Amino acid sequence: MKKILLSVDPRELWKFTLDEDGYRTEVETLESEERYLTELEENQLAIIEHYGFEHQLDKLVEECAELIQARMKAKSGSENIDRFDNVIEEIADIKNIISQMELHWPYMKEGVMAFTKYKMSREIGRINRG
């Protein structure tokens, strides 16, 4: 099993948080995390190391377009639950590439988490305000 030191590049050993307006407020040093990769993660990392980050970013955009198409088809389909199979497949493609990118570039994982927390908090605020 391949052991990986996540947060490999010392220049990327930092993360940010967002204020209530979505602006970066602080930069923290991240602790390096050393752990064993699962077989799935090993394969995901091997794929992004083979094709490169920029290539996989373009691939992610392509997969998003495939999800749009699958959703449009599922909307006009029958009542059969199987019509969502292609939607599920495209979501898996998207999640797979995002996982590759986050393994390859831990800073992105931190950034996505910061924006996720900010946007969830903002949306809950909107819901609560009615």
Q: Which residues bind Mg ion (CB under 5 A)?
A: 63, 66, 90, 93
Residue closer to Mg ion (CB basis): 12 or 66: 66
Q: Least CB distance from residue 43 to Mg ion, whole Å? A: 17
Q: Least CB distance from residue 71 to Mg ion, whole Å? A: 13
Q: Which helix H or strand E contains 28, and what residues bound it?
A: strand 24-29
The SS3 call for residue 125 is: helix
| DSSP at 38 | P
Q: Closest-CB residue for Mg ion?
A: 93
Residue closer to Mg ion (CB basis): 13 or 57: 57
Q: Least CB distance from residue 40 to Mg ion, whole Å? A: 18
Q: Is 39 exposed, middle or buried (0-12, 13-18, 19+ CB in 10 A)?
A: exposed
Residue closer to Mg ion (CB basis): 95 or 117: 95
Residue closer to Mg ion (CB basis): 90 or 102: 90
Q: Least CB distance from residue 62 to Mg ion, whole Å? A: 8
Distance between CA 71 and CA 73 in Å, rounded?
A: 5
CB atoms < 10 A from the CB of 69, how many? 12
Distance between CA 44 and CA 24 in Å, rounded?
A: 30
